[in-house]
Amino acid sequence: MSRSERLLDLVQTLRRHRRPVSGRALAAELGVSIRTLYRDIATLQGQGAPIEGEAGLGYVLKPGFFLPPLMLDDEQIEALVLGARWVAKQPDARLAEAASDLLAKVAAVLPPDLRETLDATALMVGPRAEAAEGIDLGAVRQAIRRERKLGFSYRDAGGARSARTVWPFALGFFDKVRVLVAWCETRQDFRHFRVDRIEELDVTEDRYPRRRQALLKEWRESQGIGQKAAARN
């Protein structure tokens, strides 16, 4: 276990105790020596963690303390690297560049031991997906964030074309296709559009009349996604 992981475990352990807990009890729970525990507590206090107490009296973590976002364990680093590497292989050029920049920024501020873990992560992603869509996915994502209507020509599975005006609120990334989830004004219902079948994209400045979060919630309910998650739990 790296030192960063050990410090993270110590903070999480202190969070579970609402009353002061002795150093020896903490050391036993964490599987470290009492000397190591005292040194780790001093390190956290030096980093601003509001840990009160002293040897012989016990220690307690004051409520409201949030862990620094880059105190990551090995599996969290692997999840971050794998996700960023996958995004970097997607045909959305701006998102791919952002994923690569993210890894570089994270590596620059991680402690040395965690930086080595990040660099040595052995989880790999397959070849870059071939870009099948002829529209700018970055523009679609921006329309979703700004809650703006999209207009486009859509070709269905049979080749028939139709003009659509939609309220975009989600974009699904799959191995070979991207799928836009939107409220369709033509069909007056939720629809899923394969991005590789969208042409003549027009990002308008017309704000659609409902909030994106509300549309997403209603769509999830219509798909039974919330009920499925609850059933799994």
Determine which helix (DSSP H) or strand (DSSP E) holds 3, and give its type and residue range: helix 3-16
Residue 95 to residue 87: CA distance in whole angstroms = 7
Q: State yes or no: pLDDT of 129 exceeds 70.
A: no
Contact 10, 40 (CB under 8 A): yes
HEC string for 198-232? EEEEEEEEEECCCCHHHHHHHHHHHHCHHHHHHHH
Pick the range with the lowest mean pLDDT from 29-43, 152-166, 191-205, 214-228: 214-228
Start-to-end CA distance of the chain, whole Å, equals: 31
Please report how many Cα atoms fall inside a 13 Å half-sphere around the Cα of residue 86, on the Cβ side: 11
Domains and CATH numbers, the chain: 3-61 (1.10.10.10), 74-119 (no CATH), 137-232 (2.30.30)
Give the pLDDT confidence score for residue 227 in this predicted structure.
Answer: 47
> Which pLDDT band, with edges at 50, 70 and 90, does 229 fall under?
very low
Can you tell me whether residue 118 is helix, strand or coil?
Answer: helix
Identify the sign of the CA torsion 59, 65, 71, 77: positive
- Per-residue pLDDT tens over the stretch 177-222: 899 999 999 999 999 999 999 999 999 999 999 999 999 999 999 8
Percent of the chain topping pLDDT 70: 88
The mean pLDDT value of the chain amounts to: 85
Give the pLDDT confidence score for residue 101 in this predicted structure.
Answer: 87
In 110-194, alpha helices (H): 112-119, 137-146
Q: Which of 6-15, 99-108, 143-152, 171-180 has the highest mean pLDDT?
A: 143-152
Q: Please, which residues bridge with residue 207 across strands?
A: 148
> Which pLDDT band, with edges at 50, 70 and 90, does 146 fall under?
very high
| Structural Rg of the chain based on CA atoms | 25
Pairing of strands 58-61, 189-194: unpaired
Contact 215, 183 (CB under 8 A): yes
